[in-house]
Structure 1
Amino acid sequence: MFERFTKEARVPVIEAQFVARSAHTPTIDARHVLVALAESEIGPAVGALRTVGVDVGELARRLRAELAGIDAAALAAVGVDLDEVRRSTDATFGEGAFDGVGGRRGSDRKHIPFASDAKKALSLALREAIRLGSPSIDSGHLLLGILRGGSPAAKALHAALTRAGSDDDALRAAVERSGTPAT
């Protein structure tokens, strides 16, 4: 199925491996794919998210904190600004140093398998492409697959849409309007 993905849609699927590795998780779930999509900066998915008012940077940060097991709201309640901790850590130890806190060492070279919710999102992306008459799967289809999946990634996406004053239908319409290129 991966051969049906456009080049711009392959990037977040591949990058999800690195997101999972930085979070020190044993599998790649749909949240890792959603982080990679949000951070990709290109393609129908990011364009659609921005169209409906989602702050893709905030979405990625929230998901990365969730994946790291850090409850930013709980820390804020006791006076800890997670963004300030990250900036300070990055300034002292280098960009991205905070992302590896609390993780296991030595597993950086092993292949990380996809969890069932990520596999389901990829399968649903194919169904979305077929439904829309596209010969290939782009990042917009991948985003719609995540949205339909009912996973923690879908819940995070719903929450981001709600914060933006939007909803699933508006996101779906924005993806469909993007014309999802057939490259």
Structure 2
Amino acid sequence: MFERFTSDAREVVVLAQEEARALRHGHIGTEHLLLAQLRLDTPTTAVLRRHGLDHDEVAAAVAAHLGSADLDAEALRTLGIDLDAVRDVAEATFGPGALDAPRHGRQPRSPAHIPFSSRAKKVLELSLREALAMRARTIADGHIVLGLLREGQGLAAKVLHDRGIDPQVLREDITAALRG
């Protein structure tokens, strides 16, 4: 499926991984896809901005919902605990990744690989369906946003709802931008 992605759509996927890593989340969710889209300079991003979405504000909303290692580290710092120093000592003593939690008794996952949540996978599948419905030969970044809207249950949808954004109006505006 990724071979059908335009360069902007591929960039959304790559940036979503960077967003998850920056927030120190162990998955790529719908919220990371939305944050990634907001880092681009495309007609789809322009539509999102016209609807009042800003990368930094959405990142703050995501951190408020899911937490962020930076927020956790700051809370510990107020208690006199330097999380970075603790990690450094643990890794010096036990090896890199010593504090990474294993998954179901397996080895810790590679820091280079962050898996997609089931909802994010669904969004990517829906982006293909959106492209097909529009008779597009490729999957553009706007199709990913349409997939986010169609999925409608992830944190990205909650962030949109909390900001009073009407998903149907946004869908119409994104669709118009894609038809350009």
Residue 144 (structure 2) aligned to one of 142, 146, 152: 142
Paired-residue identity, %? 38
Matched position secondary structure for 1:137: coil
Between 43-52 and 28-37, the greater mean CA deviation after superposition: 43-52
What's the RMSD between the two structures over aligned residues?
2.9
| Total equivalences in the alignment | 148
Distance change in 2, residues 1:5/1:56 (3 Å): same
1:36 corresponds to: 36
Partner amino acid, structure 1, of 2:159: A
Corresponding residue SS for 1:178: helix
**In the alignment, which residue of structure 2 is the partner of 1:111?**
113
Partner residue, 1:127: 129
Q: CA deviation at 1:56?
A: 4.2
Match of residue 167 from structure 1: 166
Give, in whole Å, the separation in 2 of the partners of 1:22 and 1:57: 13
Which sections of structure 1, spanning at least 5 residues, go unmatched?
73-84, 86-99
When Rg is computed on C-alpha atoms for both structures, the one with the higher figure is: 2
The residue identity in structure 2 corresponding to 1:58 is E
Equivalent position of 2:103 in the other structure:
none
- Tell me what 1:89 maps to: none
Aligned to 2:8: 8
CA offsets 1:41-97 (integer angstroms, 9 cap, x no match): x12321211233334442233224434359x9xxxxxxxxxxxx9xxxxxxxxxxxx
Per the normalisation by structure 1, the TM-score is 0.69
Alpha carbons of 1:118 and 1:174: their partners in 2 closer, same or farther (altered >3 Å)?
Answer: same
CA contact (8 A) 2:24 2:68 kept: no
Counterparts of 2:11 and 2:63, CA distance in 1: 18
Distance 1:180 1:13, change over 3 A: farther
Give distance in 2, aligned partners of 1:130 and 1:45: 18
Matched, 1:157 2:157: no
Instruction: Report if aligned partners of 1:51, 1:174 keep a CA contact under 8 Å in 2.
Output: no
SS in structure 1 of the partner of residue 178 of structure 2: coil
